[in-house]
Structure 1
Amino acid sequence: MRRSLLFISTILISVSTWAQSGSVDTIIRELHNPTSKQVLVVAHRGDWRGAPENSVLAIENAIRMGVDVVEIDLKKTKDGVLILMHDTTIDRTTSGHGKPEDYTWEELQKLTLKNEHGGPTRQRIPTFEKCMQLAKGRVMINIDKGYDYYKDAYQILVKTGTIDHAIIKSSKSYDEAKAENGDLLGGKLAYMPIVHLDRPDANAKIRTYEDKLKPVAYELIFRTDSTLDHSLYRTVPQSGSRIWFNSLWADQNGGHDDELSQEEGKAEAGWGWLITHGATMIQTDRPKELIEYLRKKGLHR
């Protein structure tokens, strides 16, 4: 009987491990398939409502929810260690004060992270390497605030065997990005330009990227519906790239945000509107609820 139970337990563990290791392959295939109607869900700073933002627990919670991508931010310590941190100082999110680059990694490990209300937790600041070890075989990672560290980040991705797990992005023009990180764009790493559609150079920026790179996706930010309508956003899927919209707060999406979708119970006017206008990637602060909404519509695995 014990042998049978042990055998069954081993099989279940093996199946669970296989499922986790195989899941990221499905996500990667979806990301690189611009004709797919499946909507990839991006958790902003992980599950920051249930754990400190940019923490191991926030990432783990988001993975368990079934998200496709976890968005994180990078900073570097005095001794050159890449860590997960959004702000230019550690004041808001940790028990310490000052700039992360003023501390060594060992010194930062003496601090603890705060929760969304500013209360203390026992969570510690994670390294980017730890983040990628946690993500490996399970979820993709979008590196947001970290453009200055992409070459260092790439070395970590090589070390952890997670190059295909990462999406890098920036607001730079094609010429700027090419000059600064050209060897990483498109070929070695999935790249996504951020385009603020309210700016006068927005359409020209899209055209240049379409002609010279064909990114995996475009993160499009717009304050009003009219701004989106008068942009070249419709050409994005036609050129072989995905459209990434943020549903985080109103000035990034013409008011079709998480608050409208969740708190006000008008998901069709929020998330639904974004999908109708081409979204195949949505970054949200409500990943669990967005996944539930998409699955009811057959738009999420």
Structure 2
Amino acid sequence: MVKTQLFLSAITALLALNNPARLLAQSLHRLPITTVQELHDYFNWKPGKPPIISGHRGGMYEGFAENSLSSFEHTLEHTPAFFETDPRLTKDSVVVLLHDATLDRMTTGTGKLSDYTWEEVKKLRLKDAQGRVTQDRIPTLDEAIDWARGKTVLNLDHKEVPLSMTASIIRKHKADAFVMLTVHSPQQAQYYYRENKDRMFSAFIKNKDEWEAYEKAGIPASSLIAYIGPAIKPDNKQLYQLLNSKGIMCMISAASSYDKLADEQERFSAYRAIIEDGASILESDRPIDVAQALKPLRTNQSPSTSAPTKN
């Protein structure tokens, strides 16, 4: 009996290793989003709505590599979240998830990702934030989209992948209900929006002028969440008031700021302060910690019309 169990465990590990899309999920906190309208409703700002958590690159915990399906899944075992992730191109134009243009920091490889074919890249293994080699390999964007369906929302940052290629992959998977796009300019948003008006965007909007540029470009408020920066600052108050009045949720990313605090209680206090200041989405390398820190705030606020489920 013991030998049989060990054999089954080994088979399960091999399946996950060779095909990340077949990771055997534990009980997960799933976002209740199956249609484009539900996606837009989920990210529509309303008074008293509980804050939403974004896992920056999936989350960065010991034993889990950033931008890996294992990291996404690990986060969802603890809290509902959506995920910012980073598509890049291999030498033979396969779109994979990797933040850096080089392989050295996060994989067992060296040099530029763009110098390697997908057949070469998939032999590499990812490292966690402490530099330890994991069993995970770099996933393709196709695999990530297949995995995310029915579980969460992927927010695709823009690196060097052509906009047309990203749009084509979303279209191929019919994934507009659970894939959104980080845009760094109104022009990028315009390209995607003209192709498909169902698209949802995470836009860099750090002041009134930048919002007005998106408005002038014809991007509706209902298609946007706004990334307003990495820190609490006095100017945020006016921006919250302006964007919230349009139904736009405002996101602060703690990845380059408050996540770096060494003391856990200081981090937790900073996470709560972000929401108390007026942000409605908190992005973090530590999404599980954020969920713990925000638990008192989330339970005291009105439930969302589409509450996450766990199964």
Which TM-score band applies after superposition, normalised by the shorter structure? 0.7 to 0.9
Aligned residue for 1:280?
Answer: 280
Q: Give the aligned CA root-mean-square deviation in angstroms.
A: 2.9
Q: 1:22–1:137: 8 Å Cα contact kept in structure 2?
A: yes
Q: Which protein, 1 or 2, shows the higher relative CO under an 8 Å CA cutoff with sep ≥ 6?
A: 2
Q: Secondary structure at the match of 1:41?
A: strand
Q: 1:147–1:169: 8 Å Cα contact kept in structure 2?
A: no
Aligned residue for 1:45?
Answer: 57
Q: Choose which of 142, 151, 155 in structure 2 pairs with 1:142.
A: 155
Q: Deviations over 1:87-128 (max 9, x none)?
A: 111111111112222111111112111121222222111000
2:229 and 2:97 map into 1 onto residues whose CA distance is 24
TM-score normalised according to structure 2 size: 0.76
**How does 1:1-301 map onto structure 2 within 5 Å?**
23-25=32-34, 28=39, 30-35=41-46, 37-50=49-62, 51-146=64-159, 148-172=161-185, 174=186, 176-177=187-188, 180-184=191-195, 187-195=197-205, 197=206, 202-211=207-216, 212-213=218-219, 214=221, 215-221=223-229, 225-229=233-237, 232-250=239-257, 257-259=258-260, 263-265=264-266, 267-268=268-269, 270-297=270-297, 298=299, 299=301, 301=307
Q: Deviations over 1:153-187 (max 9, x none)?
A: 23222333321111211222x2x3256444257x2
Report the Cα offset of residue 85 of structure 1. Answer: 0.6
2:232 and 2:69 map into 1 onto residues whose CA distance is 35
> Identity of aligned pairs, percent?
23
Q: Secondary structure at the match of 1:107?
A: helix
2:58 and 2:157 map into 1 onto residues whose CA distance is 12
- Amino acid of the structure 1 residue aligned with 2:250: I
Q: Secondary structure at the match of 1:226?
A: coil
Query: Structure 1 runs of 4+ off > 6 angstroms?
Result: 16-22
Q: 2:121–2:138: 8 Å Cα contact kept in structure 1?
A: yes
Q: 1:89–1:99: 8 Å Cα contact kept in structure 2?
A: yes
1:80 and 1:71 map into 2 onto residues whose CA distance is 21
Pair 1:89–1:266, CA change in 2 (3 A): closer
- Amino acid of the structure 2 residue aligned with 1:190: M
1:21 and 1:242 map into 2 onto residues whose CA distance is 20
- Amino acid of the structure 2 residue aligned with 1:188: D
Pair 1:68–1:261, CA change in 2 (3 A): farther
1:41 and 1:102 map into 2 onto residues whose CA distance is 35
**Count, aligned residues:** 270
Pair 1:137–1:232, CA change in 2 (3 A): same
1:142 and 1:204 map into 2 onto residues whose CA distance is 24
Tell which deviates more after alignment, 203-212 or 45-54: 203-212
- Amino acid of the structure 2 residue aligned with 1:216: L
TM-score normalised according to structure 1 size: 0.78
Q: 1:74–1:149: 8 Å Cα contact kept in structure 2?
A: no
1:167 and 1:156 map into 2 onto residues whose CA distance is 12
Q: Deviations over 1:202-258 (max 9, x none)?
A: 4211123245322421000155623435x53420010121111112233xxxxxx23
Pair 1:179–1:235, CA change in 2 (3 A): closer
- Amino acid of the structure 2 residue aligned with 1:115: D
Report the Cα offset of residue 259 of structure 1. Answer: 4.8
Q: Secondary structure at the match of 2:133?
A: coil
2:133 and 2:27 map into 1 onto residues whose CA distance is 36
Q: 2:31–2:152: 8 Å Cα contact kept in structure 1?
A: no
Query: Which ranges in structure 2 are unaligned for 5 or more consecutive residues?
Result: 1-24
1:128 and 1:204 map into 2 onto residues whose CA distance is 33
- Amino acid of the structure 2 residue aligned with 1:234: Q
Aligned residue for 1:253?
Answer: none
Aligned residue for 2:19?
Answer: none
